[in-house]
Structure 1
Amino acid sequence: MARRSGKRPYAKPHRRLDMTRLASMPRSEERGERSFRVQHVSSGRKPYTCPGCLSEIPQGTAHVVVWATDQFVSAERMVEGRRHWHASCWHRGLRPA
Structure 2
Amino acid sequence: LHMLNLMTKTSSSEFYETLEQLTDNIGLGVPPNHLQEFMHATSQWQTVCLYKLHGRGQYPNGCDSVQMGDLAVICPACPYPNINLPLDYELAHPSKR
How would you bin the TM-score normalised by the shorter chain?
A: under 0.3
Higher gyration radius (CA):
2
User: Higher strand share goes to which structure?
Assistant: 1
User: Higher helix share goes to which structure?
Assistant: 2
With normalisation by structure 1, the TM-score equals 0.21
With normalisation by structure 2, the TM-score equals 0.21
